[in-house]
A and B are shown apart, each in its own frame.
Chain A
Amino acid sequence: MRWKPSLVPELPDPGRLWGVLAEFDSVEALLAAAEKVRAAGFSRWDVHTPIPIHGLDEAMGIRPSPIPWLALGGGVTGAAAGLLLQWFTNAFDYPFLVSGKPLFGLPVAVPVTFELTILLASLGAVGSLFVFCGWPQLHHPLFANERFARASSDRFFISIEAADPRFDETATKWLLEDGGARAVEEVRA
């Protein structure tokens, strides 16, 4: 370390307030608090849990994911692409006559069409998952919080962003503490 001449000790920049993070012990406590946060009208908030918790979608008021429809779109595209590919390559662009059999027949086109349907539906589902989750996202203010490391192990969290129009530093913290949180912390970005 290089010695820096300075009259006042340098303090680390506390950063802008990103939001608050509340830790809960159990699924029940988390669900109850999530209901309260939702009832208080927040929109920019989330829960963080090591496992998927059923009943949480309703407690948070999450609308059904549109991903199944996008996967269906992928599947339909795959099926169409499979049929077109086989017709175009073997019957149209380069007619392949094998033992006098039809140049294009639906039964023999089934396996490849089926595989491409599955392939594009899966890629559609996983691709839209990346889009909806905003992946890859390599940094997030929550990752700087030491407590938060346990969100992937055994603790349950609620985070409320300061950008939420209803956010108020004191009142929001109080809401979470009152909601049964074992600890509430500020998160700075």
Chain B
Amino acid sequence: MASEILDNTAEDPGRRSPLVLGGHTFATLTDTVCEVVERPTPRAWWVAFALSLALTGVFFAMLGYLVVTGIGVWGLNIPTAWAFDITNFVFWVGIGHAGTLISAILFLFRQKWRTAINRFAEGMTIFAVVCALVFPTIHTGRPWFDYWLMPIPNQMKMWPQFRSPLLWDVFAVSTYFTVSLLFWYVGMIPDLATLRDRAKTRLRKVLYGIFSLGWRGSGRQWHHYERVYLLLAALATPLVLSVHSVVSFDFAVSQLPGWHTTIFPPYFVAGAIFGGFAMVLTLLVPIRAWLGLHHIVTGRHLENMAKIVLATGMMVGYAYAMEFFIAWYSGNPYERFVFINRALGPYAWAYWTMIGCNVLAPQLFWFERARRNPLALWVVAMFVNVGMWFERFVIIVTSLTRDFLPSSWDYFRPTWVDLLTLAGSFGLFMTLLLLFIRFLPSFAMAEIKSVMPEAGLEHGDHRGHGQYWGEIPHQHDHQFEGGTS
């Protein structure tokens, strides 16, 4: 039946649309997803990988140059002590948040469409956080002393200062990385076992065998496994909200006009989800076309993501407006100056780029045709990526360049090292992502299967994609029929 349905974007309140199209059975779904990993490496992958690897080389060359020369190779100075480094850090951490939102928050809300995209988005989270972690590490200037950030007993008999948000950040981001990694890996174990069971070569058998830990899909293992998965989702949900809140504290706890505002935590979290979903779309639209996975990542999945981009984009737009309102309403002349300077001062070009990309571009998603057109989705998502980078740049640089003392006012210009480091971080991100797609199950087979009709849960008065949690009504009526269905 499902094979006739090619478009699942229609809304019919009477029945739920199928989440997997193309008449897939468990067996064909396994084949389709595993084939991505099992077929000979496509030429396109090598081309993309070579480019990404070259860019990663540029990244590490820039880091090496920075470490051996000093932080003066960047364009920042006093008063602009933070610029590209922290902008890139906040940008990359934010990207990661969409992955956690999809894997944890949508899981708790029982949004079953998440199954097609969650593994990929979780992978994206890990790689984005890897890129993010590089920037605070290197921006300290002397990264070989970074262990001072950890409460490790040392020869100075000193401890870190725990009342500083910068230290909270260390704990928040490293916890976020660890928990995201656990979530990603635990979720992947059943699928790694699938790859192990299908492996043809000795090397694959051994490696997938080790990483699947001896998974046998046992009822007793699934029982514990599902508890842990639910627990991780429940723990990751407040975690992801806390991480970007803590990142925003780096700014909000300071006394600087433009930074010292209470709207920052929710505004940063909404922005992170907004930018992260845009990055998921940016990556998934071409990858879905490249791998031919239209039946798994369907039009409905893309449309749902577009709706989230629109909703979070509106929240971000509201936050921009509210910042201006509070600057005026507070009656604080410094606050007023900073915001007028943002919109009309020397960085007006960056501010209006941000507004255009983050507030205006997503408005296209009010139109159904735009939400269902992969090209339109991709273009808008690219605008949002640019816009979200500029958002952090505007916040950081406009406040810092206008010091309290006009004689020290500054105009920050990035150096070639700044620009190449930013470009290089994309190389690292893409390299990790390409390796992931090539060697790991980038679509959560076991989870996708459990929302398919074959999961055997569409009977009785239960309707839906397959209830994932909770009671199954009338299940006992079917238990003693026995035999094959």
With A67-B231, A129-B228, A180-B482: A135-B213 Cβ-Cβ less than 8 Å: yes
Chain B's closest residue to A158 (CB) is: B219
Interface residue ranges, B against A (CB under 8 Å): 25-27, 30, 151, 157-163, 165, 167-168, 171-172, 175, 178-179, 182, 186, 190, 193-194, 196-198, 209-210, 213-228, 231-232, 235-236, 238-239, 242, 246, 249, 445-447, 449-450, 454-457, 467-470, 472, 475, 478-485
Is there an interface contact between B219 and A56, defined as CB atoms closer than 8 Å? yes
Is there an interface contact between B482 and A149, defined as CB atoms closer than 8 Å? no
Is there an interface contact between B178 and A90, defined as CB atoms closer than 8 Å? no
Q: What chain A residues lie within 8 Å of B450 (beta carbons)?
A: 51-52
With A27-B456, A65-B224, A93-B159: A112-B167 Cβ-Cβ less than 8 Å: yes
In the assembly, what is the distance between CA of A118 and CA of B193, in Å?
Answer: 28
Q: Is the interface of B mostly helix, strand, loop or mixed?
A: helix
User: What are 6 sample pairs from A and B whose C-beta atoms fall under 8 A apart?
Assistant: A53-B456, A65-B223, A98-B163, A108-B162, A137-B214, A142-B216
Is there an interface contact between B171 and A140, defined as CB atoms closer than 8 Å? no
Q: Which residues 13-53 in A have Cβ within 8 Å of B in the complex?
A: 25-29, 31-35, 46-53
Is there an interface contact between B484 and A133, defined as CB atoms closer than 8 Å? no
Q: What chain A residues lie within 8 Å of B161 (beta carbons)?
A: 90, 96, 98
Q: What chain B residues lie within 8 Å of A25 (beta carbons)?
A: 484-485
Is there an interface contact between B222 and A32, defined as CB atoms closer than 8 Å? no
Is there an interface contact between A32 and B480, defined as CB atoms closer than 8 Å? yes
In the assembly, what is the distance between CA of A59 and CA of B468, in Å?
Answer: 17
> Is A165 in contact with chain B by the CB < 8 A criterion?
no
In the assembly, what is the distance between CA of A149 and CA of B208, in Å?
Answer: 13
Q: Which of A98, A101, A108, A152 has the most CB of B within 10 A?
A: A152
> Is A162 in contact with chain B by the CB < 8 A criterion?
no
Q: Which of B193, B478, B479, B480 has the most CB of A within 10 A?
A: B479
In the assembly, what is the distance between CA of A34 and CA of B232, in Å?
Answer: 29
Interface bracket on A: 35 or more
Interface residue ranges, A against B (CB under 8 Å): 25-29, 31-35, 46-57, 59-60, 62, 65, 67-68, 71, 85-86, 89-90, 93-94, 96, 98, 101, 105, 108-109, 111-112, 114-116, 118-119, 121-123, 125-126, 128-130, 132-140, 142-143, 148-154, 179-180, 182
Q: What chain B residues lie within 8 Å of A135 (beta carbons)?
A: 213-214
With A28-B481, A138-B209: A89-B219 Cβ-Cβ less than 8 Å: no
- The 6 A-B residue pairs whose C-beta atoms are closest, nearest first, are A27-B456, A137-B214, A154-B26, A89-B159, A149-B197, A47-B219
Which of A27, A28, A118 has a CB less than 8 Å from the CB of B235? A118
Other 14 A-B pairs with CB < 8 A, given A138-B210, A152-B190: A26-B454, A46-B216, A50-B445, A60-B220, A62-B219, A62-B220, A89-B151, A105-B163, A111-B246, A118-B235, A121-B231, A122-B182, A122-B236, A129-B186
Which of A35, A90, A138, A149 has a CB less than 8 Å from the CB of B159? A90
Is there an interface contact between B163 and A35, defined as CB atoms closer than 8 Å? no
Is there an interface contact between B182 and A123, defined as CB atoms closer than 8 Å? yes
Is there an interface contact between A26 and B456, defined as CB atoms closer than 8 Å? yes
Q: What chain B residues lie within 8 Å of A139 (beta carbons)?
A: 214
